[in-house]
Amino acid sequence: MSRTARVERTTKESSVLIELNLDGTGDVEVETGVPFFDHMMTQIGRHGGFDLKIITKGDLEVDAHHTVEDTSLAFGQALREALGDKAGIRRFGDSLVPLDECAVLAAVDLSGRPYLVHEEPDIVELIGSYDTTLTKHIWESIVASAQICIHVRVLSGRNAHHVVEAQFKAVARALREAVALDARVIGIPSTKGSL
């Protein structure tokens, strides 16, 4: 069974290509023109154990918003497609990730129902050219297009880079657990019979 997806998303604002293999080895190539966002999406692939290719050309002359949003929507779609009918998966995953002074708790349910709970402290507005208010919007976009539930709670942290990066690592580790195939799960892991 191949748990892969290829998604192309083209709008007047951006052109996105995503290739995702849920059963990869963490081989990642990310080029969006937004260096810090590239660094964050690399965390998703590496710590999720996914092979992930992201190539985005966006209207960066305006700002990074459309590039980041469209990439996140396409990634969520790729995740949904790669999961297929979700038979045999663990479905739930959680992770507690420390990064120096920062600690982040993430929990994921591949439920078929989009919902986000996101708590982070106030941090500086920019990390390089990256607008830190985009972080919540990234999770909103992934949740909406993947049709999953994510909780992200920053337990401690003051360095903006650490606060954002630990979120991506924690979500990646929770996704890794949730998408994993479990020999004890027969069929769809839901009493409803579908996710």
> Residue type for 104, please?
V
What are phi and psi for residue 101, nearest 5 degrees?
A: -75, -10
**Average pLDDT along the chain:** 96
Q: What letter would DSSP give residue 192? A: T
Question: Which of 92, 111, 98, 117 has its CA nearest to residue 174?
Answer: 92
Report the percentage of the chain scoring pLDDT > 90: 93
Residue 195, pLDDT score: 85
> What are the residue ranges spanned by the domains of the chain?
4-179
- 61-101 pLDDT tens trace: 999 999 999 999 999 999 999 999 999 999 999 999 999 99
Sheet holding 115-119, edge to edge: 92-99, 102-109, 149-156, 115-119
Confidence band, pLDDT 50/70/90 cuts, at residue 191 = confident
The β-bridge partners of 139 are: none
Neighbouring-strand partners of residue 4: 21
Architecture of domain 4-179: 2-Layer Sandwich (3.30)
Note whether 156 and 105 are within 8 A (CB).
Answer: no
Residue where the block lists tokens 């709008």: 11
Structure confidence by residue, pLDDT tens digits, 139-155: 999 999 999 999 999 99
User: Residues of 2-12 as b/e, b for ≥16 C-beta within 10 angstroms?
Assistant: ebbbebebeee
In this predicted structure, the answer to whether residue 121 has a pLDDT above a threshold of 90 is: yes
Predicted TM-score of the model (pTM): 0.96
Residue 1 reports pLDDT greater than 80: no
